[in-house]
Structure 1
Amino acid sequence: MKKYILVVTTAALIFSCKSKRDTTTDPPVTPPVNSTSELLLFKFNESTGQTLSESKTNTSFSINGPSGSAERINGLEGKALRTNGYYGWATGKVNVTFPSNKVCISGWVAPAAFPVQRKDLDQLSDNTNASIFSNVNPYSNSGAALGIDQWGRIIGQFKVGTEVIQIVSNQQVPLKKWSFIALNINSLSGTASLYLNGSKIKTLTYAFGNLLWDKNATVYIGKESKTKTVAGFDTNGLTGAIDQVALWNKDLTDTEILNEYNKMTLSDPDLRIPLAERYANDNHRPKYHLVPSAAWTNESHGLMYVGGKYHIFSQRNYNGPYLEHINWGHYVSSDMVSWEEKTQVLWPQPGFDEVGVWSGHAVVKNGTPYIFYTGVNKARAAIGLATSNAPYDSWTKNGNPIIAGVPTTIANADFRDPFVFQNNLDWYMMVGTGLRNGTARGGLFLYKSLSDDFKQWTQQGTMMEGNPTVDGTGDFWEMPVYYNFGSKSVLLVNKLPEANALYWTGTFDGSKFIKDNPVPQKLEVINHLLSPSICPDANGKLTAIGIIPDHVSSEKNKQQGWAHVFSLPRVWTLVNGKIVQVPHPNVLSLRGTSKNFTNVSFNQSSSNVLNGASGTQYEIVATIDPGTATKVGFSLMSNLSINEQTLVYYDMTTKSFVVDRSKSSILNDVPKSIQSSNYELPAGDIRWRIFVDASVIEVFVNEELAFATRSFPSEGSNQIDLYAQGGTAVAKDLKIYNIQGGGTVSVAKFDDAKEDILHPVVYPNPSSSDFNFKFNTVQKDLYVAAYIFDINGFPIRKIEKLLSSENDIVKWDGITDNGMKAREGVYLIKGFVGNKLFDAKIIIN
């Protein structure tokens, strides 16, 4: 390969597009094309529509995606094109003569995420080039492209003679910021250079020769020219925004490139997903459950409370609703009910996590949070570490893995998903695996920390191993959870195959978990919720949030543009060796107006006993006497005119809970199975608490049991009714609360205008009775409507009163609505004074 030295003057740099060098080694010179301006220019200033126009030739380009799906945002001047990984890019063909000696491609890019490199199908040497411009023929490789690769580096490609030249920067462009990138090619001197924000950052030399183009090749704006797919999704599109893309018929000077960069006044692009517009017709998207703004999410992990906020992370592919190129998504909340989606905190980078940053855990030690995660490359998995400072929006990875790979002394099938916990003064880490020394079974590798900064660990063998012929725990364990409740500890695993969350009670002796029983218990009565993430809340209540998968087809995921949803926060307590699950008390803030029913009799001949009750976001609280019925429960998401309904009930004969989705939808690509599980309830009333949120159903029974499921009815199937077979049952008390709010807000910051919750003074407190709630801010007559709730969130006493400035105290005598004295414990009063929400804690001794 020959190298050439350019000798130029300042004047020549500015006024000439020619370079001087030793002509004895020159190849034949092709005359420059036309003028020294843009050959092609894309400004993206169209406001709407599925087409855009190239400014120099007025060629129309089509924007890929369903009709009406093209999205623009405010750009550097005018509009910019938003692309979404697997759709939204533009294609067209232009009738121009491409230069054979010198060319520059330039443009602005603001990636929301870096593009996909397929873990199993792409070689590391085959970099993804999510291009702002590409007219490369994918078969002959003629043409040129400029974009960013799977690690956020600037990447250019072109062909000279028979050689395909690729140039890749060492620098990564920032996420969610505008960056000006450029590729200069001079085939006369055999040089190519990359530029970032006006500065040259990489130069490559090569054997000179003419640039090769295919004049009939399709031009791509926002995608690589190659076809690469996973599960029917294109994987090599850009996720982010593009603006002011130009193809120049010369190589620009350093000064000219700097001038192009300085032309623009920069502000951060608004890359929030336009939720209302994008999902306007999506009747399956939840509104008060935590759900990603778009694309793929699955396992929740790293739930923690630090700096007065709750943080939770999840597996995320921002490039589309399919499993690949996993990042750590990040959400923040002040109450675990309303969440703000933040920029991802971890993503694949060259090294041990170059193809995926998989699940893990987070702990807070001495006020500092630590993330432990599974880093995946082509060869193996390793355990990584990252730390952060307030406000915990960005995290710094430890350069090397803290555990370099799976133990080689024990035959195993991979390992992943670290969980870190403290036992006495020592810190331990357990990592899920599948053991293969003998019977294939699940297991947990155990490590002990040797340093205060968690960077050094020593392997301790296995903490626990499965015995699938006895305990039914499969051949691989992932997403383990450990928690010490005091007298007993709980160890939970998610077993594979047939994913299921299972747990044992027992004790940890510093090296092994000693099980109380050989066979684990199910976390969920009906298996659907998976991989719960746990942490104590601000008041010390152990709180869990898990994933509730869609279980729909890839085509359905593509149609809706998102995948999977998280559960509501749940409080876990250990009672008589069982995990008791109830909704977190903060969920009460979701309640709006209610419809109330008492002593409603119903049987298999009954219909519309709830007087036309309907909704898509609501909570049911009910106490039902099964009476003589053999099946008793609810008909949800119903439209009997098209024979759609989802049944949730308890079968008294088979002693089992049932979710009958066999007639849940007339749509394709959605689950319609019947789910059931045996569980013997005690005789007497059944207390139900059911949350319905579009396609999500979460059920809590008798302040103890829980299960979740998904159902995807057609639009308009929203009727609510009671269901019984084999006899007559009575709903002694039933309330249906309308729910608004909650869920995920894809914004840059919290709404500063959100009003604080009022907290009246409570006295005496603690007390055995006669509580007073004083509202010091009452300036006029105000109506109080509230309930006293027990610790499980069930209403026990309704409170109503008209307040005035002279009479600003509400009283409670400690008696419940059924005339009984409230038992010792913690209670909550919650309601409205005027139009303001208030709450206060009550302690009965």
Structure 2
Amino acid sequence: MSELWTDWNGSLLAAWSFDEGSGHFVWDAAGSRRDEIEHAQRKGRFQPSQDPPWGKGISGSALSFDGYSTYIRRSAADIRQPSEGLTISAWVAPRTHEYGMEKRLAAIISRHDREKAEGYVFGVTRNGEWSLQLGLGGEWAELSTREPALPLQEWSYLAATFDGTAMKLYLNGELAASKIVAAGSVIAPSSEDLTVGRNNRGAVLVEPFVMNHFSGYIDELAILDRALSAQEITRYYERCLEPHGGKRPAVEPADFGVGRERFASDCHRPQYHLSAPSHWMNEPHAPIYFNGLYHLFYQYNPQGPFWHYIHWGHWVSEDLVHWRDLPPALRPDAILDPEGVWSGSACLDEEGYPALFFTAGNNAWRPNQAVGLARSTYPHDGDNDLVHWIKHPEPIVMQSAEANWLPEFRDPFVWRERGEWFMLVGTGIPDKGGTAAVYHSPDMKEWSCKGCLYLSDYGEYPELGTAWELPVLLPLPRADGRASGKHVLLISPWGPGAEVEVVYWIGSWDPDRCRFVPDREEPEIIDVGDFHFTGPSGMVDPKTGRSLLFTIAQGERTPEIDYDCGWSHGAGMPVSVTLRDDGRLGIEPIGEIARLRGRKLFEASGLGMEDINAGLSGVQGDMLEIGVSFEQADAVRYGLSLRRTPDGEEETVLYYDREAGALMVNRERTTLDPAERTRGIQGGPLVLAKGEKFRLRVFVDRSLIEGYANGVRSLTTRAYPSRSDALGLRLWADGEVREASIEVWEMMPAFETGKSGSQKK
């Protein structure tokens, strides 16, 4: 038993020092027994089994709880009920604060049934509020404190006591809150199992995700069946700090991440595309270039691989292809955005410093969305990584109560033009269709509404939905960089009937009238991969003048698979959009992608399909770039078989259908795993000029496949082969291909694993 607990001998119900430092068992010194640690990656479903991560503790090591799957369960029969009183003592360092679904605690320790008013639970919830809750005499008693709040990413000592007359909370040896209860009260026994790091009565979001988990480190956790005195708690706190010179030790920010190196061996996780280090991400957004670095943010749930309590994740790069992970840039707070910090954009402010515009979620408003502003602390701290941001305390734009709009108001897109600022906000008009509200400001402080940018016709185009999300308006240069005078408006449809794709119009933008006039009313789509290329965001690259587009690459998997993997979704390749000479939208991956190339694995020019496939028989890989041109083909359908097993039992076929004039993917044999959703044949129109040869540039990144055809169309899809030998590549056709050319490169990761956190430049 830890020397720190010597004074408590005889009173301990359970005591875990977490000094194991590795493995998936912990020793309860009071009960003289081992407890097993539950952890999703122990299943080893798509990579070798991994035990939960550990870190340095207050004394020895500490266990890291991932926020959704790491917990300890003890059978009710194997631990005594508290009798004379109760003390819960723990050192904790939270990674993030949990949402508090159903107002339940993210439990540090839990053995209760709130509805029956039985047992006890101790833990934290939104914005650092922490609480002891007990079943007393048929009533549910709660003692909570938001001030002082439990700080993130630093060690704090928490103690909670109950002595039959009062409940008390202590933070770092000092009384933080107290509550008198009826004299002689006792804790009603609970028949529930005891859990550490998880609420034993957590709310179910969707199976298998049970909410109300603790996220971060726990060390030196003890339960006593009596109430410690204030003096005993202070003395214990001081003894814990003696090896650290009387001060609470710091925890390195990088230690709080669930690092991407834990997923590097996952056979389906993309490596050279952008992804969150772990857990859930939505669309990348708010790209900005400042002082030699590109910054890109993304919708992120640090609590687990499920959609819920959204923060702003943050990446940084010098070249748009090699990236570093940084800590979340924006987190929800109690006043402005308690329901989450949702999508937005970035621009340079009136002083030339970065500013973020975001959707603040707050159920106290109607609608429950408004535009928030955060400014970088760079002018004060010179941190070129832009790790720290300060939010304006109030929304800068709210939907007017008089506006005849739907209660949807989100995803601000802001840019500066002619020394003025313009903002688009996605919304819709009842019985008419989706639109973007336009706002104007001379100083980025006071904003005035200028009406609707362009209103879609829901009756004519129901696939555009009833409202728009993520409106983006970009100038459309020609391929040689010259101005075309045209803009492209991109949106994501929302609401009944909406087809969730990246929809666009080419047209004219009038900054005086704040209106966009499309060249043709019929909307078009960039990608024909059926819901895998969504969530647009964009920027004009100040280094090159290019208009760049960023998107989600949807994952398409079940919640059960996401749980086992520990990650969900990712980003598509950054692409450049241009106006072609034929008036169509040009779309190409950025040229910098070539910097990720490794060895050239194969090259052939002007050969028939049989000869090329003979050469490809020795090429294997799940991280590839492939360029292929079909110069002479008699076949009707021809393209590439990817992620192919030697016997063809599994394969994904990306091809051109000449008769249909379509770019297609066949996923009927993509996987033998019945749990995966990747099935069917998807695609859409690809119009080639008379005599134009089919050219395809393909990026295979484990489960993510992107194909770019003739510079005018893309197809993004997913493939999750079940066989480890699904690494092959072949030309594919339903007839003869007499002449083709091909190049194949291996590709290198975009992130250097283990290199995360802020770095001064």
Q: Same fold (TM over 0.5)?
A: yes
C-alpha offsets along residues 457-516 of structure 1, whole Å, 9 cap, x if unaligned?
222222221113334422221011012345122211111322011112222343322222
Are residues 1:491 and 2:489 paired?
yes
Q: Does 1:533 align with 2:523?
A: no
- Among residues 469, 472, 482, which one is paired with 1:481 in the alignment? 472
Q: Deviations over 1:532-564 (max 9, x none)?
A: 222233333332221110112222222222111
Decide which of 697, 710, 713 is 1:705's aligned counterpart.
Answer: 713
Corresponding position: 1:567 with 2:572: yes
Gaps (5+ residues) in structure 2?
1-6, 43-48, 477-482
| 1:525, distance to aligned residue in structure 2 (A) | 4.5
| 2:231 paired with 1:240 | no
Within 2, Cα distance between the matches of 1:352 and 1:273? 27
Q: Which residue of 1 aligns with 2:479?
A: none
Change beyond 3 A, Cα 1:97–1:705: closer
Partner SS for 2:633: coil
2:441 is matched with which residue? 449
When residues 337 and 138 of structure 1 are mapped into structure 2, their CA distance, relative to the original with a 3 A threshold, is same
- Other-structure match for 1:44: 18
CA contact (8 A) 1:95 1:215 kept: no
1:677 maps onto 2:684 in alignment: yes
| Contact 1:72-1:79 at 8 Å conserved across structures | no
User: How far 1:39 sits from its partner (Å)?
Assistant: 4.4
Shift of 1:352: 4.2
Selected match of 1:304 from 288, 313, 330: 288
* 2:523 alignment partner in structure 1: 520
Q: Identify if the C-alpha distance between structure 1 residues 134 and 695 changes in structure 2 by more than 3 Å, giving closer, same or farther.
A: same
Matched, 1:113 2:96: yes
**What amino acid is aligned across from residue 494 of structure 1 in structure 2?**
S
Question: Per the alignment, in what secondary structure is the counterpart of residue 712 of structure 1?
Answer: coil
1:582 aligns with 2:588: yes
Aligned pairs (5 A) from 1:280-299: 280=265, 282-299=266-283
* Equivalent-residue separation in structure 1 for 2:569 and 2:558 (angstroms): 12
1:347 Cα deviation (Å)? 2.2
1:740 equivalent in structure 2: 748
Say whether the 8 Å CA contact 1:347–1:356 is kept in structure 2.
yes
Q: How large is the RMSD of aligned CA atoms in angstroms?
A: 2.7
Matched, 1:214 2:189: yes
Code of the aligned partner of 1:724: A
| 1:467 aligned partner | 457
Task: Report deviation, 1:433.
Answer: 1.5
How much does 1:526 deviate? 4.0
Amino acid paired to 2:439: Y
Contact 1:134 1:219 in 2 (8 A): yes
Structure 1 residue 252 and structure 2 residue 229: aligned? yes
Alignment of 1:134-173 (within 5 A): 134-170=110-146, 171-173=148-150
Match status 1:730 vs 2:705: no
- Provide the residue aligned with 2:56 in structure 1: 75
SS in 1 for 2:118: coil
* Aligned-residue offset at 1:81: 1.5
2-structure distance, mates of 1:706, 1:743 = 25
Which SS does the other structure have where 1:662 is aligned?
coil
Deviation at 1:426, TM superposition (A): 2.3
Could you give the per-residue CA deviations for residues 262-288 of structure 1, whole angstroms, max 9, x where no partner exists? 2463131523335444553x2111111
Say if 2:191 is the partner of 1:183: no
Counterpart residue identity of residue 688, structure 2: L
- Deviation per CA, 1:416-457, whole angstroms, max 9, x where unpaired? 111112342321221111321x34x2111222226x3x3432
Q: 1:40 to 1:377 in 2, by over 3 A?
A: same
Cα shift readout 1:26-46 (whole Å, capped 9, x = no counterpart): xxxxxxx98686443211122
Distance 1:517 1:681 in 2: 20
Alignment match of 1:386 (pick from 357, 362, 374): 374
Per-residue CA shift, 1:293-321, capped at 9, x if unaligned?
22110111111112322111111112222
Q: CA deviation at 1:341?
A: 1.8
The SS at the match of 1:251 is coil
1:228 equivalent in alignment to 2:203: yes
The aligned counterpart of 1:204 is 179
Structure-2 separation of matches of 1:44 and 1:543 = 48
Q: What is the CA–CA distance in structure 2 between the aligned matches of 1:368 and 1:751, rounded to whole Å?
A: 19
Measure, in 2, the Cα distance between the counterparts of 1:335 and 1:43: 45
Task: Provide the C-alpha distance between the structure 2 equivalents of 1:729 and 1:413, rounded to a whole number of angstroms.
Answer: 58
TM-score (norm 2): 0.87
Q: What is the CA–CA distance in structure 2 between the aligned matches of 1:142 and 1:747, rounded to whole Å?
A: 46
Letter in 2 for 1:523: I
Structure 1 counterpart SS, 2:62: strand
Q: Partner of 1:555: helix, strand, or coil? A: helix
Letter in 2 for 1:498: E
**Structure 1: 5+ residue stretches without partners:** 1-32, 755-845
One-letter amino acid of the structure 2 residue matched with residue 110 of structure 1: A
1:695-748 superposed Cα distances (whole Å, 9 cap, x missing partner): 11122233443332211112221101111223323123x211111221474543
The answer as to 2:651 corresponding to 1:645 is yes
AA aligned to 2:453 is M
Give the letter aligned to residue 194 of structure 2. V
Q: Partners in 1 of 2:242 and 2:32 — Cα distance? A: 24
Distance in 2 (alpha carbons) for counterparts of 1:112 and 1:296:
15
The question of whether the paired residues in 2 share the 8 Å contact of 1:148 and 1:155 is answered with yes
CA distance in 2 between partners of 1:634 and 1:582 (Å) = 19
Distance 2:314 2:372 in 1: 17
Answer yes or no: is 1:427 the counterpart of 2:427. Answer: no
Q: TM-score scaled by structure 1? A: 0.78
Indicate the percent of aligned positions where both proteins have the same amino acid: 27
Counterpart code for 2:519: D
Cα deviation code 1:211-241 (max 9, x no counterpart)? 3142644221111221311121011111222
Q: How far apart, CA to CA, are the structure 1 residues paired with 2:437 and 2:199?
A: 42
How far off is 1:590 after superposition? Answer: 0.8
| SS of corresponding position for 1:468 | coil
AA in 2 matched with 1:373: F
Q: In the alignment, does 2:625 pair up with 1:619? A: yes
The number of equivalent residue pairs is: 705
Cα contact 1:590–1:741 (8 A) shared by 2? yes
Distance in structure 2 (CA, Å) of the matches to 1:689 and 1:72:
39
SS state of the match for residue 116, structure 1?
A: coil
Within 1, Cα distance between the matches of 2:754 and 2:544? 27
Q: Is the 8 A contact 2:663 2:715 kept in 1?
A: no
What CA distance in whole angstroms lies between the structure 1 residues aligned with 2:110 and 2:53? 20
8 Å Cα contact 1:160/1:209 also seen in 2 = no
1:500 paired residue number:
501
Q: Distance in 2 between matches of 1:109 and 1:747?
A: 25
Which of the two has greater helix per residue? 2
Matched residue, 2:297: 313
> 2 CA distance for matches of 1:226 and 1:622?
55
Given candidates 295, 308, 312, the residue that maps to 1:324 is 308
Structure showing greater relative contact order (alpha-carbon pairs closer than 8 Å, 6 or more residues apart): 2
Q: After superposition, what is the alpha-carbon deviation per residue over 1:573-616, rounded to whole angstroms, capped at 9, x for unaligned?
A: 23344332222222111111113333454459995452332111
| Equivalent position SS for 2:434 | strand
Q: Larger radius of gyration, structure 1 or 2? A: 1
Q: What pairs up with 1:355-394 in 2 under 5 angstroms?
A: 355-365=339-349, 366-379=351-364, 380-390=368-378, 391=383, 392-394=386-388
Measure, in 2, the Cα distance between the counterparts of 1:412 and 1:139.
38
